Structures are given as C-alpha cells and as structure tokens.
Amino acid sequence: MINKKKRLEEANSLFFQKRFSEALFIYSQLYSSFPDNKEYKIYILLCDIAFEDIQKAMALYDYFSILKDENLQDAIKYMEDTIEAYDGNIEKMMSILKDINRQTVEDLNAIKYEEFKALIEKRGSFKVAFEDIMFSTKVAIEKKEDFYDFINRLIENGFNSTAYNYLEGFNEYFIYDKEIVKLYEKLQERQNDTRNRE
C-alpha cells in the first residue's frame, strides 16, 4: 500500500529542489495509483512546464500551494484553466486573471523594488501585489536591504519556492552573508511547517 502523504511530500521536496524528472516519476506513480485525485495531475503538468520554464513552474507551484490551503477544488480548477492558458491562449490567461478581480501589470519585464513597494501600497498587501506581477515581471533589486526585505516577505506570504529561486540566483554574490543564511533557515522552517500541515 502506497503511503500517499509520504510520497507526495517526497515528490514536493524534489520539485522544490528542481529535480523535476524525479518528482515527475513519483507524481506519475501517485496519479496512476489514484487516478481520481486531480491534485496529482496538476503536479505532473507543473513538472512539464518546468522543463520549459523553471521560473514560471515554481511561481505556479507556489500559487497552487497557497490556493489549495483555501479550497483544494477551486485551486485545481484555477490551475487547470491557467495551465491550459499557459499552453498558448494568452487571451484566456488574461481573462482568468481578471475573473478573480486582479489588475495585472502587463508588458513589463522588470519592475524596480521601489516601484514594487508602491504597488504594494496601492494594492494593500504584498500577496496581492506579487500575484499581480508574478507571471509577467521580475523584481529588479539593487540593494541588499531590499533583497532581504523581499525574500522575507515572499516567505511570510507562502511563496517558498519563488523565494528559494531568488536566493539561488543571488547566492554567488552573497555566499557568506549571515542574513542570507538566516533566510535559508527561515525558508527551511516554513517548508517543514508546510509538510507537517499536509
């Protein structure tokens, strides 16, 4: 008998480490054993996206993790629509975002952290502001203090794999930085908390 919870935790851990082929293998095993569980299918699709675009897959993974805590069925439906839209239907992607009452920030490749903070003020929360830009825009950070603040807020709002992605991207610059080590530790604690709740 497969221990569903343990296997899913293992697969999610592999996904988080960007070991997508290994994660895909476990997700596929789970899905073939429990074909009625649509959550496993979402993870398979996310692995598929990761082979093309790691950053987008990690952002979608984070978003799904946050949504499923609120309502799993709604989260699955939203992800199915989003992934279908990701496969090429840009108009559908935009309509999905508008349907859930979010203003999207379009046609931007990067936004300065100061501008992003202004967007947070305007939208009233970090989570909502980041959701507005997470699929279309990168946050350009020039100061260490802003970097620490941004990563902290990502972790506090449940965007764990996105935080990990940013940390990995800057790791070579801040490799011996004590604050970076603290952020990694905080991220690890959050990951453990998430696993314990599942």
Across 36-40, 150-154, 184-188, least confident range: 184-188
**∠ at Cα 61 (57, 66), nearest 5°?**
150
- Would residue 182 count as lying in a domain? no
Instruction: Decide which of 49 and 93 is more confident.
Output: 49
Across 8-12, 41-45, 109-113, 184-188, least confident range: 109-113
- Would residue 119 count as lying in a domain? no
Q: In a 3-state reduction of DSSP, which class is residue 57?
A: helix
Decide: pTM greater than 0.85: no
Instruction: Decide which of 98 and 115 is more confident.
Output: 115
* Cβ pair 13, 20 in contact under 8 A: no
**Phi and psi dihedrals of 139, rounded to 5?**
-95, 120
Instruction: Please tell me the predicted confidence (pLDDT) of residue 43.
Output: 93
Pairwise CA distance, residues 150 & 15, whole Å: 22
Instruction: Please tell me the predicted confidence (pLDDT) of residue 97.
Output: 45
Percent of the chain exceeding pLDDT 90 equals: 18
Please report which confidence band the pLDDT of residue 38 belongs to, taking 50, 70 and 90 as the band edges.
very high
Tokens representing 51 are 């082979």
Percent of the chain exceeding pLDDT 70 equals: 79
- Would residue 20 count as lying in a domain? yes
- Would residue 183 count as lying in a domain? no
Instruction: Please tell me the predicted confidence (pLDDT) of residue 176.
Output: 54
Q: How many CB atoms lie within 10 A of CB 188?
A: 12
Instruction: Please tell me the predicted confidence (pLDDT) of residue 95.
Output: 55
Q: Is the pLDDT of residue 193 over 50?
A: yes
Please enumerate in sequence order all residues whose Cβ is within 8 A of that of 57, keeping only pairs 6 or more positions apart, or say none.
Answer: 20, 46, 47, 49, 50
- Would residue 25 count as lying in a domain? yes
**Phi and psi dihedrals of 140, rounded to 5?**
-90, 120
Q: Is the pLDDT of residue 105 over 80?
A: no
* Cβ pair 183, 167 in contact under 8 A: yes
Pairwise CA distance, residues 137 & 178, whole Å: 28
Please enumerate in sequence order all residues whose Cβ is within 8 A of that of 148, keeping only pairs 6 or more positions apart, or say none.
Answer: 179, 183
Number of domains in the chain: 1
- Would residue 136 count as lying in a domain? no
Q: Which domain holds residue 93?
A: 1-101
Tokens representing 53 are 């675009």
Instruction: Please tell me the predicted confidence (pLDDT) of residue 120.
Output: 92
- Would residue 28 count as lying in a domain? yes
- Would residue 174 count as lying in a domain? no
191: nearest Cα among 50, 39, 12: 12
Pairwise CA distance, residues 75 & 193, whole Å: 20
* Cβ pair 102, 128 in contact under 8 A: yes
Q: What is the mean pLDDT of residues 65-80?
A: 87
Please report which confidence band the pLDDT of residue 109 belongs to, taking 50, 70 and 90 as the band edges.
low
